[in-house]
Structure 1
Amino acid sequence: MGRKALIDQGELRRLVREGLSNAELAARFGVSESGVLQAKRAAGLSKPMLDHSRALPWKLDRSHNQSGPATNLRNLSSVAQGRAIPAEKLNTALRWADRLVANGLDISYESGRGFQEVPASAGRSLVETVLSEARGALDAAGHPESNPKD
């Protein structure tokens, strides 16, 4: 049974600021990269994990995980949670969601079949909700894409 390696958090913070990779940190401290990741989390040095369950409330088949709708919903969810994404990905996701909402459409998912555009039900659709949350975060950050182009 191995002993738990001790990683000095102050030293870890200093080395992270210097830009050492996880592999370099692991070698430096004599631990695995997983150990470095655990130490970084414990020291508050890692970004919080994003939760996309509101934007993707389904268990996706592996083959649908990187599809256009899944990617767009995930990107909008990332923005809604305060994460910056590349402008081209943001613009693609916003245009896709704007088109659906403007045409009264929403998205549904069935395992084995994939994503389908469907008429939005009364009230707010999933796509409209995720789009609204993303635009709210963009607006709060003063981002120019927060409001649709006229």
Structure 2
Amino acid sequence: MGNRQIDPLKLRSFIEAGTPYREIADYFHVSVGGVQQAVERLGMQKKNLRHDKFIPWQMAKEHSQSGPVTSLRILSKVAQGQQVPLVKLNSALRWAVRLHDEDLDIDYTKETGFFEKPADKAGWHIAMVLEDVNSAMTRDATFP
């Protein structure tokens, strides 16, 4: 396809808008591989998030979309620097703060799913979650 140039600013706007690589390639008249290389070269690739610190359990499929795991995923994203919709963040934080304020923790078994239990201060999962989220929000805060 030759030595075609990809405008970094236009590429960034496409990536931020979630435009598929195929459409970007068509726009710039390059291959999908050319788009991938440009994205990597410019450091625009999405960071792969891992939630295993916040969700350390092997879950049964029927529990993978439950309220607690959804809240933990949202809080994990925030702790890793990803933006989430404010309404989802507020909901997840209210849930976690309620557990913390009531000295409760979250746990899981494949048989019963997620359940609340009295917190063990030595290994308090929700306290760790809130601490990581607070650190990330403090670190990423921008003030005018």
Q: TM-score range, shorter-chain basis?
A: 0.7 to 0.9
Q: Secondary structure at the match of 2:138?
A: helix
Q: Give distance in 2, aligned partners of 1:9 and 1:71.
A: 43
Q: Percent identity?
A: 36
Structure 2 stretches lacking a partner, 5+ long: none
Q: Give distance in 1, aligned partners of 2:53 and 2:91.
A: 20
1:117/1:37 CA distance change after superposition, 3 Å: farther
Match of 1:16 in 2: 11
Q: Is the 8 A contact 2:12 2:44 kept in 1?
A: no
Q: Give distance in 1, aligned partners of 2:9 and 2:140.
A: 29
1:36/1:12 CA distance change after superposition, 3 Å: farther
Read off the aligned partner of 1:42 and give its amino acid letter.
E
- Aligned pair count reads 135
Aligned pairs for 1:24-63 (under 5 A) are: 24-27=23-26, 28-31=29-32, 35=33, 39=37, 42-43=40-41, 44-63=43-62
Match of 2:103 in 1: 104
Structure 1 stretches lacking a partner, 5+ long: 1-5, 144-150
Q: Is the 8 A contact 2:81 2:136 kept in 1?
A: yes
Aligned pairs for 1:1-150 (under 5 A) are: 11=6, 13=8, 16-17=11-12, 19=14, 21-27=20-26, 28-31=29-32, 35=33, 39=37, 42-43=40-41, 44-142=43-141
RMSD: 2.8
Q: Deviations over 1:39-90 (max 9, x none)?
A: 4663322121111110000122222111110011111111111111111111
TM-score, structure 2 normalization: 0.77
TM-score, structure 1 normalization: 0.74
